[in-house]
Structure 1
Amino acid sequence: MLTELRVRDLAVIADVTLPFQPGLNVLTGETGAGKSMVVDALSLLLGERASADIVRPGAEKTIVEGAFEFAAAVHRHLLSPFAELGVELDEGRLVLKREVLREGKSRAWVNGSPVTIGVLSEIGSLLVDLHGQHDTQSLLRPDPQREMLDAYADADVERVAVRDAHARLKDLEQREAELTTRQADVRKKADYLRHVLQEIERANPKLGEDEALDVEAKRLAHAEELGRLARELEEAVHAAGLTKAQKILASLLRVDPSLGKWQELLDAAFAGAAELAQAARAYASDIEADPERLQTVEQRRDLLFRLLQKHGPTIADVLAARDSAARELELLDTADLDLRNIAAERGKAAEEFTRATAALTVKRAAGGKKLARAVNKLLPALGMPEGHFEVSHSPLPTPRRDGAEAVSFEVELNPGLGRRPLARVASGGELSRLMLALKVVLAAHDVVPTLVFDEVDQGIGGEVGGRVGEALVDVSREGRQALVITHLPQIAVYADQHLVVAKGKKGGVATSDVEVVESESRVKEIARMLGDADMATARRHAVELLRTASEKSASQPGRSSRHPVASGGCPCRHPARSPQPGHPGASRDRSSPVPNDTCSDRAAASNSPR
């Protein structure tokens, strides 16, 4: 979940650090104070397209940084998708950073390493759902809708079976298509392949044969000259003057016996000369002109040369061409049988795929009806008394790896206007409340840890606002987190953490600041939202709303520790932050009471006529 958001030089925001907590975080403030700028900053951090006009006047760039921490279950779920994106989670922590320069360029980092905006957007979709004026809601897209329905319908086994059966069927279809194509190609060139095979087999070339024939042809073509030169070499060796060298060395040895090693060298020279003379004599006697043999060699060389030109450049390539032609011709003999076997396997795989998709369709149909009933039960309380939600299942022309139907979440907000996909719901407020209803119902199956609602209170008030607040409490239970921007006190009173955005001036430039409010400050903000922060009636009403919200929250499963009502004394105990409110993930003291003067006001109000 998001633990801290720092925004610098974004429109009216100079430098603000917002601490967030698990549970329901509410942002309030005067109209135009810059509340939506916080959501804009978060959307930038999550990869939304940026323009240069968001940079605060006088600044060089806008900087948004966010720190996230994850519970163990969420951490395990995120490991695989983050690994695919090349992102490592540092002990369940993640820090995102985005800069937008005045000239319009944008840069992003994850845990200090630069990433593309595309990767940042993919990461953002795993971390936060934005509902309101932004297009990043995961439940507006067909794939997340289908996946959420499958999870709600407990169809994981059926979905995996469809995926595996589809993969098996597609593999067989691909093999069949490839073999059929190869068979057709071989048939087209069968005559040529037979000619290649017969031509090479008749020639029967051997590795290295061309080189040996080259040497033999040269010897036969120059036989007379080679014989003459060999005989001259033999005579030259005998007349090499080694005998004279022996006499001279004998004279040297008589004077200097230490030159005895030279005798060994001379003896070796005598032996080498004799061996060379014998080899030259043998060569001269063996070589002779043979015109018939020369003609045979040249014909063989011509044959090999033609083969090398067609299939070369080496004998090894020629032999490879022979083997390839043989294999392709063999395919003509075996392809029909192989195709029949593959067709039989494909038929069985298709039947299995059909059974798997049918089972998944049944699960989806039942889950869709159950989901629709659960959502429709919530819509009246959320200000849509005539709203009707349905899960549409449209059969596909061809079943896919994700099933035989397209899944779409559709809604009819007014009778007679017909159902429309969620993405085409015009009102941002209605869409936000629809998403809230879905999130309440699907909470156990939703793995996105942080939800942001920007327009959830649009067009509602009074009791409906309170019901929306209760629903927001529901979706922010058990380690999840919701961030809500609201104008309604009926929603704000349910906050686990209440932040107020206020606009002022610094250096002649409009500036928005954010403050965490508690106790008396929170009562004053709720009173302002009711009409007048300084009016006693509004303050008494604010205390009453806070007390009622605290009691309702405490009665909900899993939330008694977040909105405790103290036993005895003042019943208006409300959340107050612990020291160092800016520290990410700081816990809060949930038993700090509303100041006594406020309680006295409430007590007086209870005794006065209404």
Structure 2
Amino acid sequence: MLTALAIRNVVLIEALDLAFHAGLGVLTGETGAGKSILLDSLGLVLGDRADTGLVRAGTDQASVTATFEFDSLPETIRALLSGAEIDVEPGEPLIIKRRLRADGGSRAFINDQPVGVALLRDLSRSLVELHGQHDDRGLVNARGHRALLDRYAHADVGAVTEAWQRWSRAGRDLAEARARVAAARNDEDLLSGWLAELAALAPLVGEEAELAEQRAAMQKGERLSGDLAALQNLWEGSDSALAVLRSAARRLDRIAAEHPLLGEALASLDRAVIEAGEAEDRIAAAIDALAHDPNLLDRIETRLFELRAAARKHGCTADDLPHKLAEMRAQLEAIESGDAQLAALERIEQEAGLDFQAKAEALSVVRAEAARRLDVAVAAELAPLKLDSARFRTAVVRLPEDRWGPQGVDAVEFLIATNPGAPFAPLGKIASGGELSRFILALKVALAEQGGAATVIFDEIDRGVGGAVASAIGERLARLAHGGQLLAVTHSPQVAARGAMHYLIAKSSEGTVTRTSVMLLDTAGRQEEIARMLSGAEITPEARAQADRLLEQA
């Protein structure tokens, strides 16, 4: 709820700090004292258009700061703040500030963080509900009527919403499946040709790398074949290097015993013969490993070309070709079994649709019955509010199928007819300002509902009425304020007497300077102000006595 309002340099207000509490707060004062300035200031901080006429003459800027406090932050407000990356800790107030410069520029802040004015407007729907001469929000807005009726009826809208979601999901699944089958059928001949090509190619995962490695080895052998043949010749024949070493070793063996050095030379020569033999064996093995068959090399290169060409054709790697092959088989199988799949999905979609319609029809019955009860309840409130000739009707209208949704198949709108025989029409298009406020009061009483906003304001709901009607208005405002916060700008002493808090708005002048001030009245101040409202400029003892009676009755 609204707990504080600080206004600086707005029209006639130089500096004003107000504290508000739960319950019914009334604001009174003589005509022209500046009650509209308070509402304009609150509108400014809640995102209304920045009018430079609000800036007090002779100053550079105006500012308004509104503080809201909640036992638990409403989810609608929490979601909006979260979207703007503003965190409000539990128990922390929500402080909204707006500055307006004389040149027309304005800035907005929430808990000292700069924000756009659009966010203030979005928040305002959950913060303050204003009913007055130019009301175009709250209960006047038909977009909220269906939710109000559902709450009044205690309707199970959640079951309808879940059924709608299942039906929508089934419809999307069916549409996607139809699109897939249609696309596949369009490409069926092409798919069959590609599948035949890939099946004949029979690609394997890892095959490309293995073939590339084999080809590289064979190409290397081809390049080294001359050198390897020359090296092999060095080890062949009676005059080869190895044959010479072996001959030298045999000759040295015959004389090695003649001297130790000859024995050592023989040992070295034996090692050389062994190493040379091993080298001969390794060269022979290398020749075998690097041997290449020109025909095999051609086959490998042809296979590599086919694999890589197929990969380019299908926009994938060679290792992905087996997956592509399986994918194409699945697509063709889907075409073959597509009719059966579509039939199954069509049954699911049809069943989900029938389930939604059944639940929506049941909800429509609940709404129609609740509408009849609400019409009776509102009608009972109209006569005490001097709306004897008026009629109220809750219209529950079935929507065309293309407008069905998660809230069912109905549109709901509150309609009124202010004169006998007059046609019913939307609230805001028929009633005058005072009538509209009283209609809304009657509707709120019938709904026993505080509205979506934390704070509800009625601006001169008692315009043009008095006596018993004003008493009825005051009694209903007090009832609505119970457990919440309701502020009423009033000219009626009967309404003012019902307030838990009473604020006096006054205008004073010093030379050429005019100022508006607001004072929270004590018991004596309330008696005096209500007496003034009863008697006018001259307050009589009779007026004070009547004021006492009104306060006692409240």
Give me the TM-score of the superposition, normalised by structure 2. Answer: 0.84
Which digits, 9 at most, give the CA deviation of each residue in 1:504-560, with x for residues without a partner? 346844321111123333233223333434332xx5224314423432x3xxxxxxx
Deviation at 1:369, TM superposition (A): 1.2
Residue 298 of structure 1 corresponds to which residue in structure 2?
Answer: 301
Question: Partner of 1:306: helix, strand, or coil?
Answer: helix
User: Secondary structure in 2 aligned to 1:402?
Assistant: coil
Match of 2:23 in 1: 23
Q: How is 1:407-556 mapped onto 2 (pairs within 5 angstroms)?
A: 407-444=412-449, 446=451, 448-477=453-482, 479-505=483-509, 508-536=512-540, 539-551=541-553, 553=554
Match of 1:379, SS?
Answer: helix
Q: Cα distance, 1:301 vs. partner?
A: 2.4
Over 3 Å counting, the alpha-carbon distance change for 1:543 and 1:190 in structure 2 is farther
Partner of 2:249: none
Matches within 5 A, 1:48-67: 48-67=48-67
Residue 231 of structure 1 contacts residue 281 of structure 1 at CA under 8 Å; is this kept in 2? no
Query: What is the CA distance between 1:224 and its match in structure 2?
Result: 4.2
Q: Distance in 1 between matches of 2:391 and 2:95?
A: 40
Task: Report the residue type matching 2:9 in the other structure.
Answer: D
By how many angstroms is 1:134 displaced? 5.0
Structure 1, residues 367-404: CA drift from partner, whole Å, max 9, x if none?
Answer: 11111111111112212221111100111011322122
Distance 1:277 1:16, change over 3 A: farther
Equivalent position of 1:354 in the other structure: 357
Match of 1:40 in 2: 40
Q: How much does 1:364 deviate?
A: 0.9
Task: Please state if 1:227 is matched with 2:225.
Answer: yes
Structure 1 residues 491 and 294, CA gap change in structure 2 (3 angstroms): same
The correspondence of residues 187-226 of structure 1 with structure 2, limited to 5 A, is: 187-221=185-219, 223-226=221-224
5 Å-filtered alignment, 1:247-396, equals 279-396=282-399
Distance 1:198 1:81, change over 3 A: farther
Identity of aligned residues (%): 34
Q: CA deviation at 1:16?
A: 0.6
1:171 to 157, 169, 172: 169
Other structure's SS at 2:58 match: coil
Larger Rg: 2
Distance 2:491 2:233 in 1: 120
Contact in 2 for aligned 1:502/1:514 (Cα 8 Å):
yes
Aligned partners of 2:274, 2:481: CA distance in 1, in Å?
104
3-state DSSP of counterpart to 1:400: coil
> What is the aligned partner in structure 2 of residue 560 from structure 1?
none
Q: 1:418 to 1:233 in 2, by over 3 A?
A: farther
| Aligned residue type for 1:179 | A
- Structure-2 change in CA distance of 1:313 and 1:343 (3 Å): closer
Runs of at least 5 residues in structure 1 that lack an aligned partner in the other structure: 240-269, 554-610
SS at 2:348 equivalent: helix
Q: Secondary structure at the match of 1:495?
A: coil
Alignment CA distance shift 1:423-1:280 (3 Å) = farther
- Structure 1 residues 271, 65: closer, same or farther in 2, change over 3 A? farther
Counterpart of 2:411 in structure 1 is: 406
Superposed, which structure 2 residues align to 1:110-121 within 5 Å?
A: 110-121=110-121
Is 1:311–1:317's contact at 8 Å kept on the other side of the alignment?
no
Question: Aligned equivalents of 2:526 and 2:479: distance in 1?
Answer: 22
Please list the CA deviations of residues 137-183 of structure 1 after superposition, one character each: whole Å capped at 9, or x if unmatched: 3212234211111111121x2x1221111111111111111111111
Match of 2:166, as an amino acid? R
CA distance in 2: counterparts of 1:133 and 1:97, whole angstroms: 26
Distance change >3 Å, CA 25–CA 273, structure 1 → 2 = farther
- Gap change, CA 1:462 and 1:286, over 3 Å in 2: closer
Q: How does 1:552-591 map to 2 (within 5 A)?
A: 553=554
- Aligned partners of 1:227 and 1:285 also within 8 Å: no
CA apart distance, 1:428:
1.9
Task: Answer whether contact 1:180 1:339 (CA < 8 A) is retained.
Answer: yes
Residue of structure 1 in register with 2:78 after alignment: 82
Moved more, 187-196 or 541-550: 541-550
Letter in 2 for 1:326: R
1:46 Cα offset (Å): 2.5
Give the Cα–Cα distance (whole angstroms) in 1 for the partners of residues 137 and 318 of structure 2: 65
State the 1:92 CA deviation. Answer: 6.7
Answer whether contact 2:98 2:108 (CA < 8 A) is retained.
Answer: yes
| AA matched with 2:363 | L
Using the alignment, how far apart are the partners of 1:351 and 1:366 within structure 2?
23
Matches within 5 A, 1:93-112: 93-112=93-112
Q: Which moves more between the two structures, 455-464 or 123-132?
A: 455-464
Relative to structure 1, the CA distance from residue 219 to residue 550 in structure 2 (aligned partners, 3 Å threshold; closer, same or farther) is: same
| Aligned CA distance change for structure 1 residues 460 and 111 (closer, same or farther; 3 Å) | same
Counterpart-to-counterpart distance in 2, 1:383 and 1:273: 126
Q: Are the aligned partners of 1:82 and 1:123 in contact in 2 as well (CA < 8 Å)?
A: no
Q: 1:80 to 1:137 in 2, by over 3 A?
A: closer
The superposition leaves residues 550-594 of structure 1 with CA deviations (integer Å, 9 ceiling, x where unpaired) of 32x3xxxxxxxxxxxxxxxxxxxxxxxxxxxxxxxxxxxxxxxxx
Whichever residue aligns with residue 88 of structure 1, its letter is V
Does the CA-based 8 Å contact 1:527-1:534 persist in structure 2? no
Residues 312, 404 of structure 1: CA spacing in aligned structure 2 closer, same or farther, 3 A cutoff?
A: closer
Please give the alpha-carbon distance, in whole angstroms, between the structure 1 residues aligned to 2:128 and 2:303: 78
Matched residue type, 1:392: A
CA distance in 1 between counterparts of 2:36 and 2:325 reads: 74
- Between 1:332-341 and 1:500-509, the stretch displaced more is 500-509
Instruction: Give distance in 2, aligned partners of 1:15 and 1:336.
Output: 76
Conserved in 2, the CA contact under 8 Å of 1:149 and 1:367?
A: yes
Residue 546 to residue 381, structure 1, CA distance change in 2 (3 Å): farther
Name the amino acid aligned to 2:484: R
Q: CA deviation at 1:215?
A: 4.2
Residues 388 and 221 (structure 1), Cα distance of their counterparts in 2 relative to 1, 3 Å cut: same
The aligned residue for residue 162 of structure 1 is 160
- Tell me the CA shift for residue 210 of structure 1: 2.8
Task: Tell me by how many angstroms 1:197 deviates.
Answer: 1.8
Determine the C-alpha separation between the residues in 2 that align with 1:317 and 1:455: 77
Of 196-205 and 87-96, deviating more is: 87-96
- Aligned to 1:353, what secondary structure does the other structure show? helix
Q: CA deviation at 1:227?
A: 1.9
Q: Give the match's secondary structure for 1:299.
A: helix
One-letter amino acid of the structure 1 residue matched with residue 549 of structure 2:
R
**Does structure 2 retain, via aligned residues, the 8 Å contact 1:312–1:318?**
no
Q: Does residue 397 in structure 1 map to residue 393 in structure 2?
A: no
